[in-house]
Homo-oligomer: A and B are copies of this chain.
Amino acid sequence: MMPNAARRSERSRTAILDAVLALLRESGYADLTIEAIASRAGVGKQTIYRWWPGRGAVVLDALVEQAAAAGPQALPDTGDLEADLRVVVRAIVAELADPRLSATTRALTIETLSSEAFADQMRDRMLRPQLDTVKDRLRSAREAGDLRPEVDLDQAVELLIGPMYHRWMMRTGPLTEEYADGIVDLAMAALRPGTAGKPRPGTA
């Protein structure tokens, strides 16, 4: 009996995660209730609550499995760092500018701020792999001599990503293509070799 039960469990689990992704595509996070997921997946609500503490956790699992199914991600590498970053930053800004697309990120950010356990999951399973695609591109730029060798790659990634999330979260300004290009311009000025300026006192 166990193999059948395990198979049934796995079928339910897959149906639930597929339902989450379909509902996110069709109507967005705001309408994504546990009830709607259960109904779409053909399971009872209690099946969902048995496996996940709430909506954030099941959405995170669905998005992580979707990313895994899509295979390893990488940034474009045309050899032109600035052009490659511009493509990526424009795409992220466009997604943040769309209230429906960014509703999921908004909800996952609230969960991240509300629960340390969720924050660890979010960082390790979803955010870190995304940040690492940028870090890998910066590392290859460094190897090509297009990046100041002394730059901390994690801080360089955050220099690109942090400002746009701050503007999006705090609603402090427009999220336009011109704005995206401005981020890349500033980051390139910070990262490009020969732009280190004068050394800080005490570090020479």
In the assembled complex, the CB of A154 is this many whole angstroms from the nearest CB of chain B, namely 6
Q: Does A92 count as interface, using CB distance less than 8 angstroms?
A: no
Q: Does A106 count as interface, using CB distance less than 8 angstroms?
A: yes
Interface, chain A (partner B; CB < 8 A): 82, 106, 109-110, 112-114, 119-120, 122-123, 127-128, 131, 148, 151-152, 154-156, 158-159, 161-167, 169-173, 179, 181-183, 185-192, 194-197, 200
Residue of B nearest to A199 (CB): B185
Q: How many copies does the complex hold?
A: 2
Contact A155 B172, beta carbon cutoff 8 Å: no
Q: Residues of B contacting A158 with CB < 8 Å?
A: 163, 166-167, 172-173
Which listed residue, B182, B189, B192, touches A152 by the CB 8 Å rule? B182
A52 to B200, CA, bound (A): 48
A139 to B190, CA, bound (A): 19
A113 to B56, CA, bound (A): 15
Residue of B nearest to A194 (CB): B197
Q: Known: A113-B106, A152-B182, A179-B155. Contact between A166 and B162, CB under 8 A?
A: yes
A17 to B124, CA, bound (A): 40
Q: Residues of B contacting A200 with CB < 8 Å?
A: 82, 181, 185
Which listed residue, B119, B122, B148, B186, touches A151 by the CB 8 Å rule? B186
